[in-house]
Chain A
Amino acid sequence: MLAYVIRRLVLAVSVAITVMALAFILTRLSGDLALSIAGPSASAQDVELVRKAYGLDQPLLVQFFKWLRNAAVGDFGESYFFKDKVASLIRGRMPVTLTLAMVGLGLALTIALPLGILAAVREGTWVDRCVTGIAIVGQAIPSFWFGLILMIVLGLMLGWLPISGTGTWQHYVMPGTVLAFTAVPALLRLTRSGMIEAMSSDYIRTARAKGLSRTAIILKHALRNAAIPVVSIAAVQLGFMLGGSIVIETVFALHGIGFLAWESIGKNDFPVVQAIVLILSLTYIVLTLLADLLNAVLDPRLRAT
């Protein structure tokens, strides 16, 4: 297991370095930064001044390592637009997105796992068809539409929940539901297909021949083997949620990372965009690593590969 962990760590670090290099190069490729910082009305002299002030006249490699060193201590420079440290901007927005993502994934798993298992053990019956139907409908409905419908029904008509903002926990119910709704179909279908495959396997026949209870057969023997692809996809979805759903944060006016990214892209605020891309990529890398480690705990065969 230790060897496996070390191997995965080395891989994760090398992917992280590659991603950082890419994030750096891509922003340089998008045009002359000095020109865009100085603005369209700046003279050639001003541009040169800006170039010097931001260190853009130095060799690329030097710039990269400088940026890397600053990023390592959480210094992503200053936002051009918000006139604030990028790091503190992101720190201010992160709790909203983090809360939303946790509510979203938690809700999605609470819905998808039991329904997926139920559909699998009742394969081919009307229960299975209903559950599969829910998954298909869920996949087809756009989240902004579902969000608006929820707002109209729960927020305006019934007045049960606030329709925008982040003041109380109630503010997270609707956006969390919508976010969960986007994650449920994939999780549900993976759970269902994984469970169907596991339930028809030889070791389940053995478990039945041992006279184990149905609960033990389904939850202990089948689910553990069916969970592996579910864990992988849930990690990817959590990464996606932590990136902030631009659509959902916009619809519900939640000032999270997704909303920040949207604002910064629109305003050419490069340091912010670059920092968000970097943090998101690192989040993905860490989540994938965690998912792999969790899967290695679930399935001992993975530790050997």
Chain B
Amino acid sequence: MSGAAAGGMARSAPLMGRDTEPTIFELSEPGRRCWQLRTTGVPAWSAEELVPAEHRRTRPVPLAEVSERDLVGHMTRLSHRQFSVDLGAYPLGSCTMKYNPKVCDEVASLPGLADVHPAAPASMTQGWLALLVELEEALCAVTGMAGATFQPAAGAAGELTGLLVMRAYHGANGEERRRVVIPDSAHGTNPASVSLGGYEVTTVPSDDRGCVDMAALRAVLDRDVAGIMLTNPNTLGLFEEGIEEIAGCVHDVGGLLYYDGANLNAILGVVRPGDMGFDIVHLNLHKTFATPHGGGGPGAGPVAVSSQLVDFLPGPRPVRRADGQGYEWLWPARSIGRVHSWHGNALVLARALAYIRVHGADGLLRVAERAVLNANWLRTRLSGTFDVPFDRPCMHEVVLAAATLRRKYGVRALDVAKRLLEEGFHAPTVYFPLVVDEALMIEPTETESLQTLEALAGAFERIAAEASREGGAAAAHAAPRTTPVGRLDEARAARHLVATFDARPSSA
């Protein structure tokens, strides 16, 4: 089941067996240690001499006490209980889990980047400012925008930043608009960000082709609408064919178009959000530009805007000096303010720049082409196996459904996902988008080979075929059985919250 096969197939079950790894607190032996600190020669005043008694801690913070060898063993064993892109295909829809080139990590670990203090003056950080300005220009080229901020640390932070820019723009025009329109297929971060941005959400339904229902959109548009947030291709993996018309009618009421860049991978070098009519774009550098996802971050969510909005961006921004002598920080004239402690997730930005330079204009187009090719190959191959809610060519991801499997055999999307883990692949995104019943959202990405796609498709087909057999449903419900742990009691985790080692019942 595990390991790569001929033809360059990315497939693997986690390496380790089923032994539970104790927590580091259970590995702890009082008196053991691994820390070593510099010899400084600084006088050894005592804590009593340094901190007034009323503020002084009476007992040290209890942490684990382990040897370096214990620490390495523990973390290495934990790593063997973890699936990752480097281990095998990770077709998690909407997350763009492509292979992350190692050169990007190496670039980010250059001491001249990694060991620079964020408050060091611009005169001493010219390399960093040059890097940021170069990346800004590249992202503007990709999106068709005029300027960008790097402060948002992730996509959702970018959304809220973009909405605050939208609010400041309308405010500068003396308008207080109250609503933002979102399609029913949108990511959950969109409505959450809209609320935090001080707006009300107006939802518009999808039509029977999976795109924004134009009649419904027109019905909700008026001068109270600040803007619309769209993902294009949308979360069904479909290109919003009516985007020009959407842009026209939103702009007609004075609203702005916000582009959620979660799916930008599909259109690199093919079409730019700016040319579609978008005014504000956030990019998920951890998706499109292959910076590693880190088990749930760090990402980076830069926001690029059209020329009329550049003055509202967060500050300070890195810019070329007017005298041509290098770079400096500048506050935009009508800036919304800061949205990050410093300059954003800088080392993630350095990785993205390296990725863009390696690919260049030609390579980024190939990325989009192969991503869409792979997704359509899977769609076509699996269209007889699962339901195809919207049977038309997709972009970088395809949304299939297990509704029929569920109705006929009681095998749900969740069961399909768990069975796939046994097959040595990560599962697709399930139960999203919400508009599709029993959704399986599959994004193979461009870095998976035809051999991997064939193996993945084979696994899906085997899972569906088994479901129809005697005992098949029971087997699906019992999955996964080859992973470090089996299905979890998630209800118990919520009902009896144990979020730290100290909250464990002593008997457990």
**Do they bind each other?**
no
**What residues make up the interface of B, taking CB atoms closer than 8 Å to A?**
none
